[in-house]
Structure 1
Amino acid sequence: MPRLFDKHLKAMLDKPQTGIVTYSDGDGLGARVSLTGKIRWQYRYKINNKNKRFDLGDYPELSLSKAREVVMQCRSWLADGLDPKHQRTIQITKTLNPVTVKEALEYWLVEYAEGNRANVEKHRAQFKRHIYTYIGDLPIEQLETRHWLECFDRIRKGVKGEQKAAPVAAGYVLQNTKQALRFCRVRHYAHTRALDDLMISDVGSKQRKKDRVLTDKELADIWEMVQKPNARYMAYYPNLIKLLIIFGARTQEIRLSTWDEWDFEQGFWTVPKSHSKTDAVIIRPIPVEIVSWLLELKSMSGNEYVLGELKLPEAVSVQGGKMWKRLDHKEKWTLHDLRRTLATKLNDLGVAPHVVEQLLGHSLGGVMAIYNRSQYLPEKKAALDLWLDRLDLLINPADNVLVMHSA
């Protein structure tokens, strides 16, 4: 039967007392009244027949009814074999220092993405722009689905005068965010299921499968442009595009490439796992025809990067997306379309599909992925030599007669 009432507590509050007294309310709850009339709640209990006690908070900030609720939780912890003092400390720490949205997403970026995603900085930039600015400082476990949807809808619909509508980007950010939250949940860093039921179609749209392959005329224009860049400040992009055309590599593989990856004695360019989308080493032969150009590029670079500097992926994407206009091409193409163009035209030239896949840095499927560890280096070298001959033919027809290497 409770022994304390609010009127009794209020009568003692901040009033001088003749001595320090503790009044019991039952179930281990007590109100300790100091000489100055300050009232502090305490919980008393036993573990292994040893008396224990800890403070719950002060009255009236912690009301009588709330103090009784806390004691019921403490008794429940004790019944489960847990020390109420420890559990109360954990609960308060979690409440007063909750994991924020930014902390959770950065936890995934640092603990997982930096070691497994080559385009981790792109993920971070998207989080900063679309998530951190709006809900980054809020406790992640207190957010509801609607708070997240406001961010994704802003990406999908765009913001007038600030950003264009980007439904595909909205779906992309959702995918990465869901993976990040799952990672945090599995590791017990933060727990939320606010995005579990959302799919890409709920916030945006999937990226459409692209089939853009450049024509010979378009390819000739590009190949001729990269041979003789017409402005020094543009050298970065012609060199990037030239390497993309020659090797069919991913943009990030070249953008991040450093000279220690290029072995001119053995004649190989080795893309490390950290730069590869498939988390696998990619080895490509260096065609003899471009060695002198690469060595000249190396002597002029002045640093470790093959392209002379490290540009952000967003900057490269924007500039690369304008190249088709600069060359007065009627139909848009992207830097990634150069990769598809190489694959398509090498197949047309009779190069075996598995060799093309190896050049692209794709993982071989089925049984080949398990048992076939060959890099097909002679075949890849022959394919690249054949490809360079084909490119030279586009701008130097030589009466349409050319003796090409066998594929």
Structure 2
Amino acid sequence: MAKKHLSDADVRNKKPESKETTLVDATGVVCRIFPSGRKTFCWRYVDQHRNKQQSRIEYGDYPDRSLADARRIHLSAKSARKNGYDIKDPAVLNRIIKEVVKDAADFVPLHKEYTLSDLVADYFKGHIEKNNIGPRPYNRIKKHVEPVLGHLPADRIPAEEIKQLITQLRESNQKDRTIFDTIRFSTSMYRWGITQFKCKTNPFQPYVPKQKRKVRTSYYPMYELRTLLINPDGYPIKNDFYLIQKALILSGTRRTQVLEAEINEFNFDNGNWTIPPERVKNQNMLKDDEEKTPFIIPMSRQLMATIRTAIEQYGNHKHVFGSKKTEFTDQQWQRIQEGSSSARYYNNEIKTYREHYGITNRTNHDLRRTLETNLTNLGVSEFITTAMTGHSRKGMSKTYNQAKQIHVMRTAFQMWADFIDFICDKDETYAVYFEEQRPSRELKDIYATFKFNDRIIDTFTIFEDG
């Protein structure tokens, strides 16, 4: 049976009974009629903010609150609830009522003059502390903004005051980054305030500096890669960190995928390294677990040898590169058999190692770009190099091209490892001329040696040789 659209007469003429009765409008508004004769509009709903319990909010008593106003408030409340707001919160509900019924007689604002200091206090209590967010970056608001603008109404901060604040920060020799973050965090605070109906405008928004997104294109030229691998000066780099770097170079994977690699991910019989989807960036972003797939890396001989060495010398019960932490057991200090190697220690060690050879402004992630760049220069299709680094296909090819490319990837990985060995064995001139693509005897020798299509059949010898 369809719900009835109530009329004002229906509510007005409804007589009280010995027990509470209700009238339900088709919009969902409920009118409660008490034995005392009081009539009030309300709504019962499933409250997502209170463990899905039934909650009730009231829109006001009839006839001070008309049925038409109750309907309008109800529609706004439903919309706010759908967008994730806690409409049971008096501040939120009062703001809704004030927005809908401009002259609502029973609306009593929480603050006669809601200032920026009030907003700061609510923001830290209702957002930062509630969500266990580290407050340190946001303390810039309390340190730089609140002392200057805290007394002003949150919705009526003059533009000149904000400009003057920025000028004062510059004159006090604050770093540009500090000023940028102060304005940015203030903007975020106001955005939160608007969603919670605590303010209507965001006066800081026009002053957020626009930053151009920089696309990083750095990679390691082959002569830098050669230096890092042969270590001509005999720099005392720890061997496990050297092996981590070598595994990153040979596999083109992310740093965490090597550092957190588990022994059971490696199958040396078929030469595959299977990285579970929770450690694969483009798979971990998928919401549906059924759509997530592991990333398979067909390993070269050199990568398999590197991983075997790491397991033998530095592995523990679970990880290829085990943690170096120790504990005192059986009257002696022993290395614990849990956890993976420290990313912080590796970064510090490898950074110092690279700087020793004058290799600066390079990151671990640049090694992935290095693999794709150099293999493309050797004539390997970008569809293959993209698959090797685990990047998703784009456009129509993502829908129509479902090729696994395992063997061609294996061929490319093996050629990449062989090419690195070739460059390390030769004079540095080969690496320099390859980077410059300079027509020369050395470049001709490289392209005569590394023909991708000719190697697809030869790659099967990885297994034939045992």
Structure 1 position 291, deviation (Å): 1.9
Q: Return the letter of the residue paired with 2:70.
A: D
Q: Deviations over 1:255-280 (max 9, x none)?
A: 44333333333322223332222226
Residue in structure 1 matching 2:318, options 295, 304, 315 = 304
Q: Which residue of 1 aligns with 2:377?
A: 348
Give the distance between the partners of 1:324 and 1:194, measured in 2 at CA.
Answer: 50
1: CA distance, partners of 2:382 / 2:368: 14
Correspondence 1:235 to 2:240: yes
Q: Which residue of 1 aligns with 2:366?
A: 337
| Matches of 1:286 and 1:218, distance apart in 2 | 23
For the 8 Å contact 1:382–1:405, the answer to whether it is kept is no
1:210 matched to which residue of 2? 216
TM-score where L is the length of structure 1 = 0.55
Q: Distance in 1 between matches of 2:402 and 2:244?
A: 29
The aligned counterpart of 1:223 is 229
Give the CA deviation at 1:298: 2.0
TM-score normalized by the length of structure 2: 0.49
Q: Is 1:282 aligned to residue 295 of structure 2?
A: yes
Mapping of 1:3-402 within 5 angstroms?
A: 47-51=32-36, 75-76=64-65, 80=70, 90-91=89-90, 100-101=123-124, 104=127, 129-131=136-138, 198=205, 202-203=208-209, 205-225=211-231, 230-232=236-238, 235-236=240-241, 238-279=242-283, 281-299=294-312, 300-309=314-323, 310=340, 321-329=351-359, 332-397=361-426
For residues 303 and 341 of structure 1, the distance between their equivalents in structure 2, rounded to whole angstroms, comes to 32
C-alpha displacement of 1:351: 0.8
Structure 1 residues 143 and 293, CA gap change in structure 2 (3 angstroms) = farther
* C-alpha displacement of 1:204: 5.9
Q: Secondary structure at the match of 1:291?
A: helix
Closer, same or farther: CA 77–252 of 1 in aligned 2, 3 Å: farther
Question: Matches of 2:419 and 2:87 in 1, distance apart?
Answer: 73
Q: CA RMSD in A?
A: 5.4
Deviations 1:105-131 (A, max 9, x none): 79889xxxxxxxxxxxxxx7xx65523
Whether the aligned pair in 1 keeps the contact of 2:248 and 2:367 (CA below 8 Å) is: yes
Deviations 1:363-402 (A, max 9, x none): 1111111122222110110001000011111221299778
Provide the rounded CA distance (Å) in 1 between the counterparts of 2:141 and 2:200: 19
Alpha-carbon distance change, 216 to 197 in structure 1, aligned in 2, over 3 angstroms: same
Tell me whether 336-345 or 288-297 shows the greater mean CA deviation: 288-297
Contact 1:244 1:338 in 2 (8 A): yes
Alpha-carbon shift at residue 135 of structure 1 (Å): 6.3
What secondary structure is seen at the aligned counterpart in 2 of 1:80? helix
Residue 185 of structure 1 deviates from its aligned partner by 10
Does structure 2 retain, via aligned residues, the 8 Å contact 1:355–1:379?
A: yes
Partner in structure 2 of residue 406 of structure 1: 452
Please state how far the C-alpha of 1:247 moved relative to its aligned partner: 1.6
Percent of aligned pairs with the same residue?
Answer: 17
Q: Per the alignment, in what secondary structure is the counterpart of residue 279 of structure 1? A: helix
**Structure 1: unaligned runs, 5 residues or longer:** 1-45, 55-69, 110-123
Compared with structure 1, are the counterparts of its residues 190 and 381 closer, same or farther at alpha carbon in structure 2 (3 Å cutoff)? farther
Q: Residues 279 and 221 from structure 1, CA distance in 2 versus in 1: closer, same or farther, beyond 3 angstroms?
A: same
The CA distance in 2 between the partners of 1:312 and 1:193, in whole Å, is 47
The secondary structure found in structure 2 opposite 1:270 is strand
TM superposition shift of 1:359: 0.9
Distance 1:391 1:50 in 2: 89
CA spacing shift, 1:404–1:213, aligned 2, 3 Å: same
Q: In the aligned structure 2, how far is the partner of 1:143 from the partner of 1:257?
A: 51
What letter corresponds to residue 48 of structure 1 in structure 2? I
User: What is the CA distance between 1:307 and its match in structure 2?
Assistant: 2.9
Contact 1:223 1:391 in 2 (8 A): no
By how many angstroms is 1:235 displaced?
2.8
Q: Tell me how far 1:334 sits from its aligned partner.
A: 2.0
Q: C-alpha distance in 2, partners of 1:195/1:311?
A: 46
CA–CA distance in 2 between the matches of 1:224 and 1:314? 24
Offset at 1:220? 0.3
Residue by residue over 1:224-243, the C-alpha shift from the partner in whole angstroms, topping out at 9 and shown as x without a partner, is: 249x88344x733x233222
What CA deviation, in whole Å up to 9, does each residue of 1:5-56 have, x standing for no partner? xxxxxxxxxxxxxxxxxxxxxxxxxxxxxxxxxxxxxxxxx922434799xx
CA positional deviation for 1:193: 8.1
| Number of residues of Structure 1 aligned to a counterpart in Structure 2 | 304
Against the structure 1 CA distance between its residues 275 and 80, is the aligned structure 2 distance closer, same or farther, given a 3 Å change threshold?
same
Amino acid at match of 2:248: L
Q: Which amino acid aligns with 1:224?
A: I
User: What CA deviation, in whole Å up to 9, does each residue of 1:70-101 have, x standing for no partner?
Assistant: 98999549862799xxx9973179979x9745
Amino acid at match of 1:210: R
- The residue type equivalent to 2:452 in the other structure is S
Offset of residue 355 of structure 1: 0.4
Which deviates further from its counterpart, 71-80 or 342-351? 71-80
* Alpha-carbon separation, structure 1, partners of 2:131 and 2:402: 32
What is the CA–CA distance in structure 1 between the aligned matches of 2:248 and 2:451, rounded to whole Å?
A: 21
Q: Does the residue aligned with 1:358 lie in a helix, a strand or coil?
A: helix
Letter in 2 for 1:378: H
Match of 2:336 in 1: none
Query: Which whole-Å CA distance do the structure 1 matches of 2:412 and 2:261 have between them?
Result: 22
**SS at the partner of 2:211?**
coil
* Per-residue deviation, 1:357: 0.4
The change in CA–CA distance for 1:191 and 1:282 in structure 2 (over 3 A counts) is farther
The answer to whether the 8 Å contact 1:213/1:338 transfers is yes
Structure 1 residue matching 2:283: 3-state secondary structure: coil
